Amino acid sequence: MLFPLMLCLLVQQMLPAAGMPQDDLSSQRRLNEAQLTPIAEIVEEAIRNGKIPGAVVLVGNRGEVVYHRAFGCRAIEPVKLPMTEDTIFDLGSLTKVVATATALMQLVEKGKLSIEDPVIKYWPEFKKKGKKKITIRQLLTHYSGLRDSLDSKPMWGGYPIALRKILAEKPLCPPETRFIYSDINFIVLGELVSRISGQPLDVYCAEHIFKPLGMKDTSFRPSRAFDRIAPTQYKYGVEGMLWGEVHDPISNQMGGVAGHAGLFSTANDLSLFAQMMLSGGSTQEASILSSLMVKMMTVPQNPPSKTALRGLGWDIDSPFTSNRGEIFPVGSYGHTGFPGTSIWIDPFSETYVIILTNRVHPKGGNGNVGPLYSKIATIVASSLESTSTEQIPPAKETLSQGNPFNGRVQTGIDVLVSEKFAPLAGLRVGLITNHSGLDSAGRRTIDLLHIAPRVKLVSVFVPEHGLFGNKDSKVASMKEPKTGLPVYSL
């Protein structure tokens, strides 16, 4: 009996390991502080040039913190205070990935929602003004079509008012047509966390993320009671400094708890979070996410035709990735925050770089920290060359070698060869093919199946234009010249 086999459309995606193979790691040296001494000069130059009042830089590699230093001042006005390694910073948009996206993905893993769900499934009123089709995935990747932010003026106040303003928003364009980095997206996502979990965002994150990881200095609304907080800038039209009070004007008017901004933390706490991500979502003390979910969050989830590459919350390769530097591969990921905060994580070398500043202090100036981020990341990545050159592909390389969801594609015959034709063992096979039926090495599918062990190729079927693709008239059946197999014209 003949068992025809269609090989035309079979593909398989390759799932890489979360980091370097353990055998490779064991033969490589860990980064050390001496290799990273140029960082100090870069940061001190930025301080001298008035770009930042001070900074804390922390670098982790292969499970250990290898560099942790404080520079300059955490406050210049109204009183000068030195920066310390345990300074607490306003994280700005790092809130999006450390809190909101992580919380949402935990709820996905619990079966509470799907990223393909429309927002209106959980917030029916959201459908107003043409927002009915916007999905959770589109919010996470910033392809929802919503604009960048709510208006902060004229002044308003209160979380409920922000939600009413969102309901009145009309998208600038249809979903998935344009990348627009949007705080509104994550305000909506923060609200969904609350609606689905039954807990306010800050309470949920404290209970399910920060406390299990031991992030003791991470919270929303920390207040001035923490004498280690770095202030941001003087308040608008009001006496006093934003000090333990969120800098982002929308989050501030919402009460300090929002999905896009409001979180405060230290470099030490963020290193715990970064190591959790590198370890596949778990630590010795707690499991925050599954390893597959970490992979899912940190590979491109944007529309396939779009060039701004975004994961689920995380930035991979977009106009906002100055903190990747020149060498870290595109398969790494990170995020920045407006007050001057950055985190970048590279699973290939098991390295993370955390840079915390309060660049808007004291008067909301325009301190550009993009070059600082880039230079520090480049110093770290270049130092890895002596320890893991083989694991760091060029920075502009595509994601095809490190992406389980948009990964390297194999033809069906490549898959069968790699599996030693096990799925066909003991079968008589018919093959539909023509001159384009080749594996990745250029070998004919016919030849590979003909010599395959425990497989009997008995017939070949050919479509229009014949086996060699050179017929423009009726194609007759024939014998295949090399193998002698019967070739039937379709």
What is the length of the chain? 490
How much is the pLDDT for 260?
A: 98
Q: Is the dihedral of CA 258, 360, 172, 129 positive or negative?
A: positive
Cα(346)–Cα(276) distance, integer angstroms = 13
What would the two tokens of residue 173 be? 């364009």
Q: pTM here?
A: 0.76
How much is the pLDDT for 368?
A: 85
Q: Is the pLDDT of residue 20 over 70?
A: no
Q: Where are the alpha helices (DSSP H) in 334-433?
A: 370-383, 385-388, 412-418
Q: Is the pLDDT of residue 282 over 60?
A: yes
> Which tens digit of pLDDT belongs to each residue from 37-49?
999 999 999 999 9
* Confidence band, pLDDT 50/70/90 cuts, at residue 307: confident
> Which tens digit of pLDDT belongs to each residue from 136-190?
999 999 999 999 999 989 989 899 999 999 999 999 999 999 999 999 999 999 9
What would the two tokens of residue 142 be? 């910033």
> Which tens digit of pLDDT belongs to each residue from 113-130?
999 999 999 999 999 999
Q: Which amino acid is at 434?
A: N
> Which tens digit of pLDDT belongs to each residue from 363-420?
887 678 999 999 999 999 999 854 443 444 433 344 433 344 444 567 888 888 877 8
Count other Cβ atoms within 10 Å, centred on residue 398: 16
> Which tens digit of pLDDT belongs to each residue from 61-82?
999 999 999 999 999 999 999 9
Count other Cβ atoms within 10 Å, centred on residue 313: 26
Contacts of 309 (CB under 8 A, 6+ apart): 300, 302, 316, 317, 318, 330, 399
Q: In 3-state terms, what secondary structure has residue 74? A: strand
| Average pLDDT of the residues of the chain | 88
Poorest-confidence range of 17-31, 140-154, 274-288, 440-454?
A: 17-31
Most confident of 16-20, 164-168, 327-331: 164-168
How much is the pLDDT for 302?
A: 92
Q: Is the pLDDT of residue 329 over 90?
A: no
Q: Is the pLDDT of residue 458 over 70?
A: yes
Domains of the chain: residue spans and CATH: 3-15+405-489 (3.40.50.12170), 22-399 (3.40.710.10)
Cα(321)–Cα(176) distance, integer angstroms = 20
How much is the pLDDT for 475?
A: 87
How much is the pLDDT for 419?
A: 79
